Amino acid sequence: MSEYRMEHSIIVENISKKYDISKLKKDTQFREALVNLLKRTFLRDKINKEEIWALKNVSFSVEKGEIVGIIGRNGAGKSTLLKILSKITIPTSGQIKVKGRVGSLLEVGTGFHEELSGRENIYLNGSILGMKKKEVKEKLDEIISFSEVEKFLDTPIKWYSSGMRLKLGFSVAAHLNTEILFIDEVLAVGDVAFQRKCLDKMKELRNSGRTVIFVSHTMITVEHLCPRALWIDNGELRQDGRTADVIKNYMGGIRGEWSADFKISEFSVLKQQSGFDLTLVANRQGSGDIRFTGMEFLDQDGHLKKTIRSGDRLKVRLYYQGNKPISKPEFYFRIRNEFGEKIATLSPFLSGYEIPTLYPGTGYIDVDIDFLNIMPSRYYITLYILHDNGIINNNIVDDIEHAGTLDVEVSNYYQSDRGIDKWWGIMFLPCKWNLEGMNIHEESVKSM
């Protein structure tokens, strides 16, 4: 095995990764583990193991200087693959051989500490990413000017806006000089001008002879930057080839759901498909006279929705349990993006309903969203219940900041096989183009 010369930079052989979900379901306590051990020894009880295969027999190889994109829906295993390649977690079986110095960018600003200044964080973050102090020093001026935060360089970053923080983080990462780079889409950062800068920097990579594996959620960037792409679906390598072909198949498959038997690896996506159990949530505020007990995303027939896409019709069902009558209750369902910004807040209150009294007991409330006008991304759901003019009087009954996640996938709404994702904007507006006023030969216009 060690005799043959490594022409390839990276060889992935039959990588599989298994997670034991039951372990992750709740923080294990030592005394529980002890009890389980006794159970196993004396009662021969089989402890319920829920296993999920995040990756199944993935194999591919990458040559020196190649730039490879990885696409796939959320929870398909892309990030897990990158983590394994970055040595952050180990595979359950299989081998990976890597030749060369590796730099991983799985997040922007890893290790940033609020109390330290921008300058100090540059050194800290650089060191964490694997750069030597000398390297950082040499490139310091470049890093500072790329980040556009010169004026505030010596103030603690806790005073920085989120945009400044992202710019700083990205500019350190952009100067990482390893032969091999693993990047988990960190490009959608900052304002438009900065995004342009980032893209240009990424293009430089293409010409630098470095080997890059790039996990992306936006089709355009993959097409732009990577000649070759891998499609990971359900933990398996579905296709490996020319980017344009792979994207076509990926998008084409969205026309009709190609696989009904989804087993998603990522825990939060798993929960989204089976409903969120909110009884276990400890981090909540409010009097507790009514509590949310569950949240489900349903399709029109009332079944749990397996995949939620931009433009879909979505029904959200919120289960609650109350032990006291509440006067004038107001229920709120809020969607936030990854930056914590409010995307939408839905409430019967805003829709003009006034419930005089909600009696104790269990129940549920449904909201039907005609058209999900938001771009593919991961969103966070906040739920809260107020009562008696709660907004003014701050009467909070239950308040869960992070009730669950909503992963919206790219849709093929126009059946065009062209990915409409967050590269293109923040909202998805359904539209119809009319070309009649144009000076063209209408018959020659192709439409899918």
Partner 1 sequence: MNLSMSGGVENLGNSTTTVIKFGWIKEVWNFRELFYFFIWRDIKIRYKQTVLGALWAIIQPFFTMVVFTIFFGNFAKVPSEGVPYPVFSYSALVPWTYFSGALGASGNSLIGNSNLLTKVYFPRFAIPASAALSGILDFFIASILLFGIMIYFHIPLSLDLLFWPVLVIPLIFLALGLGMIFSSLNVKYRDIKYTIPFLIQLGLFVTPVIYPISILPDKYKLFVALNPMTGIIEAFRSTVIPNKQIDFWLLLYSVIVSLLIFLFGLMYFRKTEKEFADLV
**Contact 88/232 with Cβ under 8 angstroms?**
no
Are the beta carbons of 82 and 104 closer than 8 angstroms?
yes
Backbone angles phi, psi at 21, to 5 degrees: -65, -35
Sign (positive or negative) of CA dihedral 85, 88, 93, 96: positive
- If you write DSSP's letter for every residue of 224-291 in order, what string do you get? HH-SEEEEEETTEEEEEEEHHHHHHHHHHTTTS-S-S-----SHHHHHHHH-EE-TT---EES--SEE
With a CB cutoff of 8 Å and minimum separation 6, the contacts of 26 are 280
Which of 53, 61, 64, 110 lies at the binding interface for partner 1 (CB under 8 A)? 110
- Taking the least distance from each CB to partner 1, the nearer of 128 and 346 is 128
Residue 64 touches partner 1, criterion: CB under 8 A: no
Q: Does 31 bind partner 1 (CB under 8 A)?
A: yes
Query: Rule CB under 8 A: is residue 270 a binding residue for partner 1?
Result: no
Tell me the closest approach of the beta carbon of residue 97 to partner 1, in angstroms: 5
87 is an interface residue for partner 1 by CB under 8 A: yes
For residue 447, CA distances in Å to 68, 145, 251, 437 come to: 30, 46, 16, 17
Measured torsion, CA atoms of residues 26, 32, 37, 38, in degrees rounded to the nearest 10: -150
Q: Which amino acid is residue 78, in one-letter code?
A: K
Tell which positions 319-338 bind partner 1, by CB under 8 A.
none
Q: For residues 151-210, which are near partner 1 according to CB under 8 A?
A: 156
Considering only 40, 113, 324, 342, the residue that binds partner 1 (CB under 8 A) is 113
Judged by CB under 8 A, the residue of 25, 33, 342, 388 near partner 1 is: 33
Binding segment (CB under 8 A) for partner 1, from list 97-105, 208-216, 409-417, 432-440: 97-105
- Using the rule CB under 8 A, which residue among 37, 38, 90, 244 binds partner 1? 90
Q: Are 410 and 255 in contact (CB under 8 A)?
A: no
State the binding string over 133-152 for partner 1 (x if CB under 8 A, else -): x-------------------
**Joined tokens for residue 92:** 């359950």
**Closer residue to partner 1 in complex, CB, 4/433:** 4
Task: Using the rule CB under 8 A, give the single segment among 77-85, 162-170, 250-258, 304-312 that binds partner 1.
Answer: 77-85
339 is a site residue for partner 1 (CB under 8 A): no
Number of residues that bind partner 1 (CB under 8 A): 49
93 binds partner 1 (CB under 8 A): yes
Closest separation in Å from C-beta 260 to partner 1: 29
Assess contact for 185 and 225: CB atoms under 8 A.
no
Among 57, 86, 268, 373, binds partner 1 (CB under 8 A): 86
Q: What is the DSSP letter of 46?
A: P
Segment lying near partner 1 (by CB under 8 A), choices 104-112, 163-171, 257-265, 360-368: 104-112
Stretch that binds partner 1, among 18-26, 191-199, 221-229, 409-417 (CB under 8 A): 18-26
Least distance from partner 1 to the Cβ atom of residue 4, Å: 10
Nearer to partner 1, 27 or 436 (CB): 27
DSSP string, 127-184: HHHT--HHHHHHHHHHHHHHHT-GGGTTSBGGGS-HHHHHHHHHHHHHT---SEEEEE
Interaction between residue 29 and partner 1 (CB under 8 A):
yes
CA 257, chain centre distance (Å): 21
Please state the closest distance from residue 156 (CB atom) to partner 1, in A. 8
Burial class (CB in 10 A: 0-12, 13-18, 19+), 18: middle
Spatial contact of 79 and 73, defined as CB atoms under 8 Å apart: no
| Residue whose CB is less far from partner 1, 30 or 433 | 30
Contacts of 234 (CB under 8 A, 6+ apart): 56, 76, 77, 259, 262, 263, 264
Choice from 61, 64, 66, 99 touching partner 1 (CB under 8 A): 99
* Closer residue to partner 1, CB minimum distance, 7 or 191: 7
The answer to whether residues 215 and 79 touch, using CB atoms and an 8 Å cutoff, is: yes
88 lies in the binding site for partner 1 (CB under 8 A): yes
36 binds partner 1 (CB under 8 A): no
Contact 99, 9 (CB under 8 A): yes
- Residue 93 CB, shortest distance to partner 1, in Å, is 6
* Burial group, residue 165, by CB count within 10 angstroms (0-12, 13-18, 19+): buried
Cβ contact 176:140 at 8 Å: no
In angstroms, give the least distance from the CB of 150 to partner 1.
22
Residue closer to partner 1 (CB basis): 143 or 326: 143
Residues of this chain that bind partner 1 (CB under 8 A): 2, 5-6, 19, 23-24, 27-31, 33, 83-100, 102, 104, 106-107, 110-111, 113, 115-116, 120, 123-124, 127-130, 132-133, 156
